[in-house]
Amino acid sequence: MKQLVYTSIIDTSVDFEEIHRLLTKAVENNKKKSITGMMVYSNDYFLQCIEGEAKDIDELFKKIVKDKRHYDIKLLGKKDIEKRYFDEWNLGFINNSKYIKKLIETKTGVKEFEPYKFDYENARDILYKLSFMI
Ligand SMILES: Cc1cc2nc3c(=O)[nH]c(=O)nc-3n(C[C@H](O)[C@H](O)[C@H](O)COP(=O)(O)O)c2cc1C
């Protein structure tokens, strides 16, 4: 199994309704492919982790990279995993900046959510912790 973490910036044309549409479709698709994961939207950034069969993860990431609803996609890393981190969620989502701020501050000492500065493990751990706050 593969796990992948990336971050990106939301396009200005995307409103909350569009995010909702995106999530509904993503959960439906991920369920079919047994893909699990977690996504945070905060401070105009997306941070997402997806995990599943290597082929499915590569296919999904190709689609995600082409999606016009975000840009400057930065792959933070991709790793082989034995066990899923987000097995409860086909795509968990959180955008409550109160939780995020506090967690980021404790984890990194930085107040702003700036996921481009995170490394793979750091980002994955933050997403993992946030998955318990949904
Ligand atoms: C930030 C972001 C995260 C996304 N995450 C997923 C995802 O986890 N699963 C998924 O199927 N699509 C996801 N998408 C949407 C895909 O880019 C694409 O629109 C969708 O998979 C197309 O589905 P379809 O081929 O069934 O029409 C995401 C898009 C964005 C912008």
Plot region of 72 (φ>0 → left; ψ -120 to 50 → alpha; else → beta): left
Residue 29's Cβ-count burial label (10 Å; 0-12, 13-18, 19+) is middle
How far does the centroid of ligand 1 lie from the alpha carbon of residue 40, in Å?
14
For ligand 1, atom 9: residue with the closest CA? 26
For ligand 1, atom 1: residue with the closest CA? 46
Instruction: Say whether 15 sits in a helix, a strand or coil.
Output: coil
pTM across the whole model: 0.95
CA 78 to chain CA mean position, Å: 13
Q: What is the CATH number of domain 2-130?
A: 3.30.70.100
Name the nearest CA neighbour of 77 among 47, 97, 110. Answer: 47
Q: Is 22 in the pocket of ligand 1 (CB under 6 A)?
A: yes
Tokens 């499915």 belong to residue: 56
Q: Each residue's pLDDT tens digit in the chain (134 positions)?
A: 999 999 999 999 999 999 999 999 999 999 999 999 999 998 899 999 999 999 999 999 999 999 999 999 999 999 999 999 999 999 999 886 677 777 777 776 667 788 999 999 999 998 998 898 88
